Structure 1
């Protein structure tokens, strides 16, 4: 038996990056999470603010929202998140973090500048002063470096993250959410694509990521499981990728369960904790494939599957 599973990087409510946010899709995708034993999700950015009915529906997983993506000019899909000027970013981040989190698009194209470090640091300070937390999307070396040096609470993806910064990352409590499975799903296409600087940069980043994740864990960084992909309910696959990268089996499990729950402010299997539990016929620490095959799912004290 495990505490309810957790996906800390998922975007329910959208069928793809090109589709608008939709309540019907949101309900379906949250149900997909629940039926896979994922009883707590963090949505680091969506196309709209999370509707009030989500928290009131006891049939759905608990949700921690980061509001709408915050994108400065040229750094995201136009119109998909909340587009703001650079000088508007700190105040907008405080507004979006009213529910606890905000998500900043820290970089975008591989050969263009990331959000400047001083601006990102100002944004993080403003949100922390208001009692919120900041997640930063970053895939370039500059973007990953700036997110960490700015004191972000979580680095989302972290491709090209400088390993020399990992000790500082651990000391300040910045978590790493590498989303390995979504990169892995795109790797075959990238390797087969036309040679060029963009392809080579992506491949170099991808090939370094497992080693970076392993080094981050060894340095004491909190490494967490997030999928960033569709269909929803596939966090078991992300846990498997963390184990493949070199995390011990229990750490890879915890990244998708008790470690992630504690990081988001919920207890695990302790007296008085919310009765969000997932049971298995075999121990996922010994049989990792079992994580995708829950035999019983209990949410808020009720058997739901």
Structure 2
């Protein structure tokens, strides 16, 4: 038995904690933060700025294309990419397969909140990429996926702009059943009808929300529907779309994109929980989503919170307080003043262990 096994090393960190902007010290006991001092602890962060580990609330690790099968090897690589960027908690709203058990057991992996497999009714997704179900079977399937995952299920609420969205009465029944089972519903929506139905049905998170009617933002705030706009994945192709040949699809897409930034700003102002999700590859790029949220008009602190403390609270985890998971990222300077420092963490601690 080694000396460390007899008396495990206790780590100490100290710095200015966000969002409170208070200088604090924590001692890491196992995988938990503690505020009671421990003599002779190993000081691994001395000064700077401390954040709860970053969060990507819309990422799909495990496969990179509709032709690629879900792979544990790819999943591990994607999660490591997240971790090495300081993203220590991810939500996977839909996947080609349910998360394997080793994800939660591996201390080197970020914490994962999954939503099981995408639930797609006929004509509303890539065939066979998620879980294809009939409209009649959707309620049962949604409850099943929520119970088999981290309490979430993901419903494809619409697909092609020329096709009807999932009917409001069916999506409403899904939300009611999943809520009765103690779960939550994320809805993919990129058409006006789909976004409208998702809000009226009372989903817990609106994913993308293209063509969202701004008159529905107040209802989102009142009922607690979060907005995950995934701006970076849309913004990455906006110029290419504008340069493309005119078509009904191009015009529809551009009209939706033009409304997204104003809607994100209006949602924040109305008190909607706006969160950061990338929905793109490579993994570990949530900082680009933070920058897009700032571009949309969110204050830098709110945009950073959307990928850190606010996202953690929404997913049921605390920030940097006594007893919280020891998942944190340290920076030399205040990242709310210069978000570019987010790409250069000075220390990453996951589950009480120093990653870098």
TM-score after normalising by structure 1: 0.99
**Could you say which residue in structure 1 is the equivalent of 2:107?**
58
Q: Give yes or no for the alignment of 1:219 onto 2:270.
A: yes
- Structure 2 CA distance for aligned equivalents of residues 132 and 292 of structure 1: 34
Q: Give yes or no for the alignment of 1:26 onto 2:75.
A: yes
Where in structure 1 are there 5+ consecutive unaligned residues?
Answer: none
TM-score after normalising by structure 2: 0.85
Task: Give the C-alpha shift of residue 17 in structure 1.
Answer: 3.0
**Could you say which residue in structure 2 is the equivalent of 1:269?**
320
The 3-state SS of whatever aligns with 2:137 is helix
Q: Give yes or no for the alignment of 1:114 onto 2:195.
A: no
The 3-state SS of whatever aligns with 1:241 is helix
**Could you say which residue in structure 2 is the equivalent of 1:78?**
127
1:95-151 deviation digits (Å, cap 9, x = unpaired): 000121000000000111000000000001010000000000000000000001000
Task: Give the C-alpha shift of residue 191 in structure 1.
Answer: 1.2
Q: Which of 27, 30, 54 is the matching residue for 1:5?
A: 54
Bigger proportion of residues as strand: 2
The CA RMSD measured in Å over matched residues stands at 0.6
**Could you say which residue in structure 1 is the equivalent of 2:136?**
87
Q: Which of 145, 154, 161 is the matching residue for 2:205?
A: 154
Q: Give yes or no for the alignment of 1:38 onto 2:87.
A: yes
Q: Give yes or no for the alignment of 1:17 onto 2:46.
A: no
**Could you say which residue in structure 1 is the equivalent of 2:187?**
136
- Structure 1 CA distance for aligned equivalents of residues 287 and 343 of structure 2: 5
- Structure 2 CA distance for aligned equivalents of residues 146 and 121 of structure 1: 8
**Could you say which residue in structure 2 is the equivalent of 1:300?**
351
Where in structure 2 are there 5+ consecutive unaligned residues?
Answer: 1-49
Q: Which structure: larger Rg?
A: 2
The 3-state SS of whatever aligns with 2:89 is strand
The 3-state SS of whatever aligns with 1:86 is coil
Q: Which of 342, 347, 350 is the matching residue for 1:291?
A: 342
**Could you say which residue in structure 2 is the equivalent of 1:208?**
259
**Could you say which residue in structure 2 is the equivalent of 1:242?**
293
**Could you say which residue in structure 1 is the equivalent of 2:241?**
190
- Structure 2 CA distance for aligned equivalents of residues 202 and 300 of structure 1: 41
Bigger proportion of residues as helix: 1
- Structure 1 CA distance for aligned equivalents of residues 237 and 128 of structure 2: 24
- Structure 1 CA distance for aligned equivalents of residues 252 and 265 of structure 2: 21
